[in-house]
Amino acid sequence: MDAIVHTSPEPELAGRMIVEGMAAARPVITAAGGVTQIVRHDRDGWRLKAGDAAASTNATGTLRADPAVAQHFAKRGAERCAAGVFSGVVFAADDAGNQARRVLMQTVQTVQAMQTKHA
């Protein structure tokens, strides 16, 4: 199974790649400052300490060795996207945050439409 592994120590405005991965039903491992609000540790992915290469390696290995864990994270993330969880709660209410939210939601809708088309 493919996974999204985002280990940048730099924060992001919206974590678009993370949400795209979740919308595409991929398990997520992240260690970035700005996206920790998106991934709920041990519920729909793993949040690791930034710069911890050993933890990233171990987490990736666990997903490969235990497909049930990977599938659980993938399913939970996709469910959150389908439920519209990623709204103004995650992002700042300023113009940049609202713009990022609109782009992110359009991306989620596009991925979901592609999945429906290929199902």
Print the domain residue range for 74.
Answer: 4-118
Q: Determine the Cα–Cα distance for residues 54 and 41; give it in Å rounded to an integer.
A: 17
Q: Determine the Cα–Cα distance for residues 37 and 62; give it in Å rounded to an integer.
A: 23
Q: Give pLDDT, residue 13.
A: 64
pLDDT category at 3 given cuts 50, 70, 90 is: very high
Positive or negative: CA dihedral 18, 90, 79, 56? positive
pLDDT per position as a tens digit, 39-76: 889 999 999 888 888 888 999 999 999 999 999 999 99
Task: Give the chain's mean pLDDT.
Answer: 80
Task: Please determine, for residue 93, whether its predicted confidence score (pLDDT) is greater than 50.
Answer: no
Q: Give pLDDT, residue 90.
A: 45
With vertex at residue 57, the alpha carbon angle to CA 19 and CA 47, rounded to the nearest 5 degrees, is 40
Better-scored residue on pLDDT, 48 or 93: 48
Number of folded domains that form the chain: 1
Q: What is the CATH number of the domain that holds 74?
A: 3.40.50.2000
Residues in the chain: 119
pLDDT per position as a tens digit, 4-13: 888 877 766 6
